[in-house]
Amino acid sequence: MMNSNDITKLLRTKPHKYVVKDYTAKKSSTSCWSKFGLPAEIIDEKTNEFKIIDGFASLKDYFTTFVFRSGSKGTGTKNLTDHNCSNKDVNQPTLHEVIQEKTISDIHRTELIDSIANWCAINMRPFHCVEDSAFIIVSQVLLDIRARYGRLPVGKVRAENILPCANTVKRRIQTLAGISRSEVATRLAAAGARGMTAIFVEDSVTNTIDLCCCEFLYHKKSTENVSKSIDAILNEFNIQQYRKSATFVIDRGSNLKAALSHDQIVPCIVHRIHNILLDTFTLPKVTVDDTLQFTKKRKRQEESDESDSEESDIEFDEQCIGLLRIVILTINGCKKTVGYIRKTGLNRKIQEKGDLCLIQENQTRWLSLHAMLNSIDRSYDILVIILSEMNMLHFLTSIDRKVLKDILWFLETFRRIIIDLQAKDHPTLPMMVPCVWYLKDELKTTAIDSSILCFLKNKCSVILEQNIELQDIHFAAAMLNPSYRSLRQATKEEQTRTQKYLRKRLEGITQSVASSALTHSDSDDDHDNRDYLARYVDNPPISRKQDEVFRYLKFDHRETNTSDILEFWKTMA
């Protein structure tokens, strides 16, 4: 239940959601309604649909809200008419305004122009800044403030006393950004979204085009509706006929997988790595402790993807839970320290002492977590000095430096892989297999590993085996990269299966090209008819296209002198 203070705050902070509407009752003749109106919540901006908040009246200018109930048993307008603002007619001119002509003298106008000209010239501002809509709004606000306080002697009020400083603007932007993010999050949660990006190679150049990023067309996200939505996107670009031949890289959402069950799909490895890290740093559900703050803030973004909610069946003992709790407490301590440093503006002091500022973590990006922890470790000694001077050294007491370094070492492996697999300047599918191999090798424990590092490696290794499944297309892409063509770490079965897969794909391409050539030959009046019985000749010559995989594996690719896979195949064409 809202009170008048709540409504006042909503009107001032959310003007696009809450407004003051005119009081349109037929029997309304009280003069206070020229200043007051009824607060309302906007239901639909497009249709201008709104809902009046009953029991209240608000000032149109300042949004101050009072209790108001019409009717014989209501409060009436007495408390509204008694308010100071309702007794003042802001439209009534003063005697000075009536006598004096409302024009700016040439002297004062020239003074204004000179100040703007000096500002543009001395500070290298563009001339069009004076026509900027934001500059005009700020100027109008200053004029309105001047008008509200009546006539004051020239020079009585200084601009420095009205204009905010840079830090005030910075804090206000952060506040407004938080409000906007909250509103956007609510709107995004209410409406599903669909997005599709097309990636294709043309003339040995990788092209990326965002086909759409918009609201989901249907109310229910069923398999049929998801499939229809995909067709609708492809039809907009007249490429629906390529759906069967295209390869879809997706997460493991059940509805999306079912909708593309008859198409070629490849799971997004980076998406799976994200979930693997999330599971690694998550305490078991039976553990209830304040250390769950980390896992609560890092809830699965895949809650809408039902099949991504697969839980690992790792058994935890008390020692494992204790080690994970230490890890999470260390991460939370780093996050609190960064939050305090940024809030108090101490990053500037860190920079003055010759180090880089602390970096804040983004909850949806594990690279940002590594960057945040690394910034703490890098600036640890300077932080001790700065926080000691402010008697705030307790922020660092919850950070175990050795545990911090273990976490950084563990995340460094994933940082390298994620950066390479998210690259946009070269194909990443051929790198999936070697990256997974590297990850498995790095997660093997050694005798010099600490108990924390051994625990993280062992837990992550088990989750990795459960969640990463390399497909034939991954091995084939790696084999087509001349640097990894032998698949030296793959099993003999995987190598054989990959070669068969490539031969099958090449056979399909060869038949398609041959069919196209045959169609073209049939339409040519000058074609040679002597070979129409060639299929019956004994021991036909071996086709040049036969066993290209074998010849590729035996080819010395060092002669091409290139590490770019697209450039390599362009040279080999």
Name the β-bridge partners of 320.
Answer: none
More confidently predicted of 541 and 75: 75
Compute the CA torsion angle 448, 453, 459, 461 (nearest 10 deg).
-60
pLDDT tens profile 403-415:
999 999 999 999 9
What are the structure tokens assigned to 305, written together?
């993807």
The one-letter code for the residue type at 529 is N
How far apart CA 437 and CA 490 sit, in angstroms, is 9
Cβ pair 243, 261 in contact under 8 A: no
For the ranges 49-53, 181-185, 188-192, the one whose mean pLDDT is highest: 49-53
How far apart CA 449 and CA 451 sit, in angstroms, is 7
How far apart CA 1 and CA 239 sit, in angstroms, is 53
Q: How confident is the model at residue 300 (pLDDT cuts 50, 70, 90)?
A: very low
At 490, give phi and psi (nearest 5°).
-80, 160
Q: How far is C-alpha 376 from the geometric centre of its chain's CA atoms?
A: 24
Instruction: For residues 538-549, give the mean pLDDT.
Output: 60
Q: For 169-188, give the secondary structure using H, E and C.
A: HHHHHHHHHHHHHHHHHHHH
Q: How confident is the model at residue 528 (pLDDT cuts 50, 70, 90)?
A: low
What are the structure tokens assigned to 179, written together?
């409000």
How much is the pLDDT for 242? 87
How much is the pLDDT for 132? 87
The one-letter code for the residue type at 388 is S
Would you report the helix, strand and coil content of the chain in percent, each value rounded to 5?
Answer: 55, 10, 35
How much is the pLDDT for 464? 92
**Which single residue is written with the structure tokens 């990256």?**
435
Q: How far is C-alpha 333 from the geometric centre of its chain's CA atoms?
A: 25
How much is the pLDDT for 373? 92
At 282, give phi and psi (nearest 5°).
-105, 130
Q: How confident is the model at residue 494 (pLDDT cuts 50, 70, 90)?
A: very high
pLDDT tens profile 553-570:
887 776 666 677 777 777
More confidently predicted of 338 and 5: 338
pLDDT tens profile 244-283:
888 898 887 888 889 998 998 888 888 889 889 988 988 8
pLDDT tens profile 125-145:
888 888 888 888 888 888 877
pTM over 0.85: no
How far apart CA 22 and CA 26 sit, in angstroms, is 12
Residue 61 pLDDT more than 90?
no
What are the structure tokens assigned to 499, written together?
């070669």
Residue 290 pLDDT more than 50?
no
How far apart CA 266 and CA 247 sit, in angstroms, is 7
Query: How much of the chain exceeds pLDDT 70, in percent?
Result: 78
- Cα 127 to Cα 117, 118, 120: the distances in Å are 8, 11, 6
Residue 503 pLDDT more than 80?
yes
pLDDT tens profile 423-449:
877 788 889 999 999 999 999 888 888
What are the structure tokens assigned to 222, written together?
């069923």
Residue 302 pLDDT more than 50?
no
Q: Which of 377, 397, 407, 387 is nearest to 340 (CA)?
A: 387
| Domains of the chain, first to last | 4-92 (no CATH), 96-157 (1.10.10), 191-267 (no CATH), 271-470 (no CATH)
How much is the pLDDT for 553? 82
**Among 39-43, 305-309, 388-392, 438-442, where is mean pLDDT lowest?**
305-309
State the Rg of the chain over Cα. 34
Q: How confident is the model at residue 306 (pLDDT cuts 50, 70, 90)?
A: very low
- Cα 555 to Cα 474, 490, 558: the distances in Å are 21, 20, 9
Compute the CA torsion angle 24, 29, 33, 39 (nearest 10 deg).
-30
Instruction: For residues 527-539, give the mean pLDDT.
Output: 60
Instruction: For residues 310-333, give the mean pLDDT.
Output: 76
How much is the pLDDT for 245? 85
Ranges of beta strands (E only) in 474-568 are none
Judged by DSSP in three states, 388 sits in: helix
Instruction: For residues 520-541, give the mean pLDDT.
Output: 57
Q: How confident is the model at residue 34 (pLDDT cuts 50, 70, 90)?
A: confident
Name the β-bridge partners of 532.
Answer: none
Q: How confident is the model at residue 205 (pLDDT cuts 50, 70, 90)?
A: confident
Q: Terminal CA-to-CA distance of the chain, rounded, Å?
A: 72
How far apart CA 358 and CA 350 sit, in angstroms, is 8
How far apart CA 235 and CA 196 sit, in angstroms, is 13
Angle (CA) 433 196 258, round 5°: 75
DSSP states of 424-451 as a string? SSS--GGGHHHHHHHHHHHTS--TT--H
If one counts every other C-beta atom within 10 angstroms of the C-beta of residue 421, the result is 16
**Mean pLDDT for the chain overall:** 79
Q: How confident is the model at residue 508 (pLDDT cuts 50, 70, 90)?
A: confident
Q: How confident is the model at residue 90 (pLDDT cuts 50, 70, 90)?
A: very low
| Cβ contacts of 55 within 8 Å, gap of 6 or more | 67, 68, 69
How much is the pLDDT for 303? 45
CA atoms within 13 A on the CB side of 507: 7
